Every structure is written in C-alpha cells, then in structure tokens.
Structure 1
Amino acid sequence: MKFEILPVTPFMQNCTLLACEETRRAAVVDPGGDLERILEKIEANRLKIEKILVTHGHIDHAGGVAELARRLGVPIEGPQIEDKFWIDSLPSQSEMFGFPPAESFAPDRWLEQGDTVSFGNIVLNVYHCPGHTPGHVIFFHPNSHLALVGDVLFQGSIGRTDFPRGDYDALICSIRERLLPLGDEVRFIPGHGPMSTFGEERRLNPFLRENS
C-alpha cells in the first residue's frame, strides 16, 4: 500500500491518499478541505477512488467530505455513530472557525470496533478510539504496519479533550488498550504534524509517561 499525506485547511490537517499498488484503486482519508488540491493529486497519480474514510466529525477532518463524495460519486465510511452530532454541526463549525461553508452528511456506513474497510486489494482494520470525540475511529493496515490515527495521538502529544463529549480518561485508555498493543514498530499518520511510531510515543510522549 502506498500513501501520500496532503496537509489541508488552515489547520494543516493531514488528509491522506491510500492506494493499492496492484490495482491503482484508492481511498481518501479525512478530506477536510482544499478539494481542488486533493483532486489534482488523485489525477496526477492516476488513482481510482473507491471511497472516503472519516476518522471523526471535526471540521478540519470532515468539512470537504460531502462535496468530494458527490464529485467523485463514491461512498463515505466512518466514523462511529457517536460522532453524528459533530457531523450534523459541520455547517455551524465552518462558521465558528472561519472555514468555507461545509455540508453535513450521512455516511453510507457507520463503523464499529472490529470492522474492516477495503479498497482494491487492501484491507484496513477499524478500531473505535473515543476520547477526542466519542465516535473517533482509526484505521490500521497490518501488512505495512501503518495506522491512521486522526486526532487520537500525535508525535509528543495527544488529542484535545476539551471539546463537547471529549474524555481524557477514555482517550488515554484508547491509546493504551487499542493503539499501543498493535506494536512498537507501527508507524502512524496523525491528524496533524509529523509521523511517529507507537514505540517512540510509548517511550517519549509525556502524556503516556505520566499515566504509566
């Protein structure tokens, strides 16, 4: 599986293109905005997008989902249904944060712990990781030891929990019980900032050390 990270929106959110090298079929993860840039990259790489994957319902991750799904004619999968209130509020979120107008949407498939999603010959495992938002999910590709964790975990930090229905204890539990057991060697793409590994964060992340 190949991937390319495209920071989008004024929040520099890591939208990611995931592609099956054998079939050139692909998925877009968290297209929060800057859709023309995303579409140009899809065309430049000659990818056939099969679906849009969403980790959670915040504007910088989900603001462009409805429009991109319509333009590409593809389904939307994720997040978990507890984030419905965030997705329903996308129009007001866009006003609050000064983003271009955003549409709410109903995913073609809400995701749950233990689900899988696929495109081309690629299968990703789904983990429900609440805390930053109640319906946050992450995607894991075991064959390449790669995880897309949205705003659950960052290099040296963790997701905020001061938004409505955020839960610090739940977030730490999600990291410790669902992310770190995947293995120290796993690289992860966070919602913002540089990639890291679960091993590095286990050793160096102050939020995880403090809760050892």
Structure 2
Amino acid sequence: MKVTLIPVTPFQQNCSLLVCEATGRAAVVDPGGDLEVIQREVERQQVTVEKVLLTHGHIDHCAGAKTLADHYGVPIEGPHEDERFWIEKLPDQSTRFGFPAAQAFEPNRWLHDGDTVQFGDETLEVYHCPGHTPGHVVFFSRKHRIAIVGDVLFAGSIGRTDFPRGNHADLIRSIREKLWPLGDDVTFVPGHGPVSTFGEERRTNPYVADRVTGGMAHGVAR
C-alpha cells in the first residue's frame, strides 16, 4: 500500500491518498479542502478513487468529503456516529474558522470499533478512539504496519481535548489501550505534522511516553 500525504487547508491537515498497488484502486482519507490539489495527485498517480474515509468531523478533515465523493461517485465511510453533531455543525465551523462554506452531510456508512474497510485488495481495521472528539476513528493496516490516526496522536504531542465533547482521560485511554497494543513498529500518519512510530512516541512523547503514563494498561507488557 502506497501512502501519499497531501497537506490541505490553512491548517495544513494531512489528507492521505492510500493506493492499493496491486489494483490501482485508492481511498482518500480526510479531504478537508483544496480538492483541486487532491484531484491533481489522483490524476498524477493514475489511480481510481474507490471511497472517501473520515477519521472525525472537524472541518479541516471533512469539509471537502461530500464534494469529492460526489465528484468520483464513491461512498463516504466513517467516522463513528458520535461525530454526527460535528458534521451537522459544518456550516457553523466554516464560518467560525474562515473556511469556504461547507454543507452538512450523512456518511454512507458510520464506522464502529472492530469494523473493517476495504479498497482494492487492501483491508483497514477500524478502532474507535474517542477523546479529541467522541466519534474519532483510526484506520490500521496490519499487513503494512501503518495507522492513519487523525488528531489522536502527533509526533511529540497529542490531540486537543478542549473542543465540545472532548475528554482528556478518554484520549489517553484510547492511545494506551487501542494504539500501543498494535506494536512499537507501527508507523502512524497524524492529522498534522510529520509521521512517527508508536515506539518512538512511547519513548519520547511528553504526554504519553511510558515514563509518564506507566506503560500499557490492563497488564499488557510494559
């Protein structure tokens, strides 16, 4: 699976183009805006977009989802249904943050913990990781050891929890109980900034390093 990061919006959000190299089929994750930039990259790679995937309902991650999905005639999958209130607030979010007008929409499929999504020959596991927002999900390719984590975790930081229905304790629990058990070798693509690995963040992240949190939860090896 080939992963191309496409920074979009004034927030430089990492939209990801995921390509199944065996079939040339692709998924676009978190198209928050600048759709012409995303479309140019799709054309450059000569791939076929099969679906749009969303980690959560903040405007820089999903404002362009409906327009892009309609352009390619594909479904939107994700996030978890607890993000409905954020997606319904897209018109208000666009005004508040100075984005182009964005319309609310209904994903074709809400996702839940334990679900999978497919494009081409690739399968991504879905993990519900609340905290930054209540319905945030993470996409994980077990085969390729890559996770698309949205705004749950960053290189050297973690997601904000001061937005409506954010919860710091939930976020830390999501990271420790959902992400760390996937393995230190997993490379993750955050919603903003550079990629890193779970192992690196367990060693060095000042918010969730093992020395800060006491290692994994529930008796998993520290």
TMscore range, shorter length: over 0.9
Name 2:15's counterpart in structure 1: 15
Does the 8 A contact of 1:91 with 1:104 survive in 2?
yes
Name 1:186's counterpart in structure 2: 186
- Give the Cα–Cα distance (whole angstroms) in 1 for the partners of residues 213 and 21 of structure 2: 40
Helix, strand or coil for the counterpart of 1:180? helix
Name 2:171's counterpart in structure 1: 171
Q: Deviations over 1:181-211 (max 9, x none)?
A: 0000000000000000000000100111332
- Give the Cα–Cα distance (whole angstroms) in 2 for the partners of residues 189 and 134 of structure 1: 20
Q: How does 1:82-97 map to 2 (within 5 A)?
A: 82-97=82-97
Q: Deviations over 1:63-107 (max 9, x none)?
A: 101111111110000000000000000111001000111111100
- Give the Cα–Cα distance (whole angstroms) in 2 for the partners of residues 146 and 211 of structure 1: 23
- Mapped pair 1:141 → 2:141: yes
The more displaced of 63-72 and 131-140 is 63-72
- Structure 2: any 5+ residue segments left out of the alignment? 215-222
Does the 8 A contact of 1:67 with 1:103 survive in 2?
no
- Give the Cα–Cα distance (whole angstroms) in 2 for the partners of residues 103 and 117 of structure 1: 25
Q: How does 1:16-165 map to 2 (within 5 A)?
A: 16-165=16-165
Q: CA deviation at 1:140?
A: 0.2
TM-score, length of structure 1 as denominator length: 0.99
Q: Aligned AA for 1:117? A: V
Helix, strand or coil for the counterpart of 2:143? helix
Q: CA deviation at 1:158?
A: 0.2
Name 2:219's counterpart in structure 1: none
- Moved runs in structure 1, 4+ residues, more than 4 A? none
How much identity, in percent, do the aligned residues show?
Answer: 63
Helix, strand or coil for the counterpart of 1:56? coil
The more displaced of 183-192 and 202-211 is 202-211
Name 2:213's counterpart in structure 1: 211
- Structure 1: any 5+ residue segments left out of the alignment? none
Q: Deviations over 1:109-163 (max 9, x none)?
A: 0000000000000000000000000000000001110000000000000000000
TM-score, length of structure 2 as denominator length: 0.95
**Length, aligned pairs only:** 212
Q: Aligned AA for 1:102? A: A
Does the 8 A contact of 1:154 with 1:190 survive in 2?
yes
